[in-house]
Every structure is written in structure tokens, then in C-alpha cells.
């Protein structure tokens, strides 16, 4: 891991359960030296990603707020999904977009209808483990085998506790079945787990980029799953069109080259002038 990677990993320390970090606390958690932590905090503070408080503890900085605003306005996934999410919220009451983030999943958008009962903790930015929810299951089902094996190596007990299989073969088989079904129905723990029906959304290269998840009663699961599948297909089609447009624009930019300047003829040497005379 490069020095830049290690510095950016400092941002992973900040969480709802611990939003403030002193140099000493960061040293104890990361094992980095005092001078290294000072240097990393200073660089992050200069970029506006963290801010020092009067008590010497650091918190996330104003640049994070500005970046979040840009994501809300221009994120390709949210841009493609927003009208469909509005329709789903009007029909089903509540819908959330959940995206993979390293070895966790994060809620990136919540849309509620007029009379929706929204759990108070179901907010943009909520980050949870990627097991005990319908959204987690559809995301895992379409992940790469190497990533899944690495995840199983470090989280086998949590995977088994979530009912996803005791051991690697059972885990992989459970995800194969989930992939064939097309949408997940699972009542898990916490606000994300309460969204018991979820479907995957695909981007370029058939790569899963997010899950759309909603609450639903047990008897409504099949109907709701069908609605979500159709909405997800429309969102995926928009993302593919965006990707194709980006590739066409890049091809046009790559094909255009300014004309090369005409080379000037070299002046004849003395010997050549003599032969021409």
C-alpha cells in the first residue's frame, strides 16, 4: 500500500460511532507513528477533508460537504434512477438505493412517498455490513468470485449467522441460487434489513452497481419484486446508453488530431550548394 493509500485510509476512521479523532487515538488504531499521523492530518486538513477542533481532535471537513452536493446533483446512477425512484416511492411508499463500498454497503439515496413511514435511521450515508439484508444478497450474488472468497475468509461467522451458508461451498451455492431468482426477499436486522425486497442494477459490462430495496409484506413480495425488476431494467438501460455515449464521445476526441506542422526543408550544405551550382 502506497503512502497516499495509507493517508486516504485515515478517512475510514470517521464513523457515526466515533466522528472525532485525536492524533493519539489515530496512532493507536492504525499503528502509524506520531510524525506520520501528524503529516497525514495536515495534508487532509489542507485539502479540506478534515478540520482540527479546539480540543485537538479532528472531524470531517467542509470539502466532504461540497463533494456530497456534487454527487447528489451529478451522480450518473442517481441521475438515471431518480424518475423511476419517484414512481416507485409513489406506488410503494419508500425506496432506497444501496451501493457496495469495500466490504460494506452504504445507503446512497432514500425516496419516500407522502404517507411513508421512514425509519429514523434510514438516511443517506448509513453504512452496514453486507450480509443481513435483501440489498446485500443481490449485491453479493453478482460480485466477483475472488472478492467473495476473500470476504468469506474474513467474515465466515457473520455469513453463516445471516443464513448464507456454513462454509465456502454453501455460501457460493446460496449466491448462485440468488442470482438465478433475480430479486431477493429477506427480512434482516436494522433499517436496511427492514427493506425486505431488493433487485440489482447493472452498469456497463454487466457489472452490478447498486441495489434498489423497498419494504413489503410477505404476501406482496412477488408483486413488488416484479415491479422492482422492471424499474431496475429501465435504469440499467439508461446507464448503458450513458456509457455508450461516453465511449462515442471519447472515440471522437481520440480520432481528432490537429494537423501536423509542415516540416521545413533543411538548408543545403556547402558541398550540396557546390553541386547545384
Coil, strand or helix at 108: strand
In the three-class reduction of DSSP (H, G, I as helix; E, B as strand; rest coil), residue 16 is classed as coil
pLDDT of residue 277: 47
Residue 72 DSSP one-character state = H
Q: b/e map of 48-70 (b: 16 or more CB within 10 Å)?
A: ebbbeeeeebbebbeebeeeeee
Q: Residues near 96 by Cβ (< 8 Å), separated by ≥ 6? A: 107, 109, 110, 111, 122, 135, 192, 195, 212, 213, 214
Q: What architecture is the 75-250 domain classified under in CATH?
A: 2-Layer Sandwich (3.30)
Q: What's the CATH number for 3-63?
A: 1.10.10.10
**Which of 15-29, 220-234, 238-252 comes out lowest in average pLDDT?**
238-252
Place of cell 408483486: 223
What's residue 216's pLDDT? 87
In the 8-state DSSP scheme, what is residue 15? B
Question: Residue 9 — very low, low, confident or very high, per pLDDT cuts 50/70/90?
Answer: very high
User: What are the extents of the domains in the chain?
Assistant: 3-63, 75-250
3 state SS of 276: helix
Q: What are phi and psi of 271, to 5 degrees?
A: -65, -40
pLDDT grade for 267, boundaries at 50, 70 and 90: low
> Rounded mean pLDDT of 206-226?
90
Q: What is the mean pLDDT of the chain?
A: 88
- List, for residues 170-200, the tens digit of each pLDDT value: 999 999 999 998 899 999 889 999 999 999 9
Q: Is the entire prediction scored with pTM above 0.95?
A: no
pLDDT in tens, 102-114: 889 999 999 998 8
pLDDT at residue 276, as a whole number:
44
> pLDDT-based confidence at 261, cuts 50/70/90?
low
Residue 209, all three cell numbers: 452497481
Cα–Cα distances in Å, from 193 out to 75, 89, 119?
Answer: 25, 18, 11
Amino acid at each position: 500500500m502506497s503512502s497516499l493509500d495509507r493517508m486516504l485510509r485515515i478517512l475510514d476512521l470517521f464513523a457515526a460511532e466515533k466522528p472525532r479523532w485525536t492524533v493519539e487515538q489515530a496512532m493507536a488504531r492504525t499503528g502509524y507513528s506520531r510524525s506520520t499521523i501528524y503529516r497525514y492530518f495536515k495534508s487532509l486538513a489542507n485539502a479540506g477533508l478534515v478540520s482540527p477542533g479546539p480540543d485537538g481532535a479532528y472531524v470531517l471537513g467542509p470539502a466532504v460537504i461540497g463533494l456530497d452536493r456534487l454527487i447528489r446533483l451529478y451522480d450518473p446512477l442517481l441521475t438515471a434512477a431518480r424518475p423511476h425512484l419517484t414512481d416507485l416511492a409513489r406506488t410503494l411508499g419508500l425506496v432506497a438505493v444501496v451501493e457496495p463500498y469495500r466490504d460494506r454497503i452504504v445507503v446512497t439515496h432514500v425516496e419516500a412517498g407522502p404517507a411513508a413511514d421512514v425509519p429514523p435511521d434510514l438516511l443517506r450515508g448509513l453504512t452496514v455490513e453486507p450480509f443481513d439484508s435483501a440489498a446485500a444478497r443481490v449485491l453479493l450474488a453478482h460480485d466477483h468470485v475472488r472478492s467473495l472468497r476473500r470476504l468469506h475468509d474474513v467474515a465466515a461467522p457473520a455469513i453463516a449467522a445471516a443464513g448464507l451458508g456454513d462454509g465456502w461451498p454453501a455460501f457460493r451455492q446460496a449466491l448462485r441460487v440468488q442470482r438465478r431468482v433475480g430479486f431477493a426477499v429477506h427480512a434482516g436486522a436494522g433499517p436496511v434489513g427492514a427493506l425486505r425486497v431488493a433487485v440489482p442494477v447493472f452498469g456497463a459490462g454487466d457489472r452490478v452497481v447498486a441495489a434498489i430495496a423497498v419494504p413489503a409484506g410477505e404476501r406482496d413480495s412477488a408483486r413488488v419484486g416484479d415491479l422492482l425488476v422492471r424499474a431496475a431494467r429501465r435504469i440499467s438501460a439508461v446507464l448503458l446508453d450513458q456509457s455508450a455515449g461516453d465511449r462515442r464521445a471519447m472515440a471522437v476526441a481520440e480520432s481528432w488530431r490537429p494537423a501536423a506542422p509542415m516540416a521545413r526543408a533543411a538548408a543545403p550544405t556547402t558541398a550540396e550548394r557546390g553541386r547545384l551550382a
